Amino acid sequence: MTFQPLNGNVLLRQIEAVERTAGGIYLPETAREAPAEGIVEALPAGDGNEITVGDRVFYRKAAGEEVTLGGKLFRLVPQGDVLAKYVEADAIPA
């Protein structure tokens, strides 16, 4: 069985929080800030949006709902709260 978002929502696999600083200091879980980034895992049917499954995207920090599927944590976010996606530098038009 697969999971298909409805009503314009996108299923994202959240990017893990940074465990240590650039200086090498390890951060406890309580001090880690969850990044507002994720990998697109599923889109609604008939989606004509600019994002596809596998894209790494940036979304509004407090957007969506956390969902546990198969023991893994995901976030179900409205498409309007997905703000940007990462692309190769040469893919951005001048």
pLDDT (tens digit per residue) in 53-93: 999 999 988 888 989 988 888 999 998 899 999 887 776 66
Q: Which helix (H) or strand (E) holds 82?
A: strand 82-85
Q: Where do the structural domains in the chain lie, given as residue ranges?
A: 9-89
pLDDT single digits (tens) 10-64? 999 887 666 666 677 776 666 556 667 888 888 887 766 788 899 999 998 888 8
| Sign of the Cα pseudo-torsion (85, 91, 93, 94, in order) | positive
Q: pTM score > 0.75 for this model? A: no
Q: What pLDDT, on a 0 to 100 scale, did the predictor assign at position 55?
A: 92
CATH superfamily for 9-89 is GroES chaperonin (2.30.33.40)
Q: Residue 85 is which amino acid?
A: K
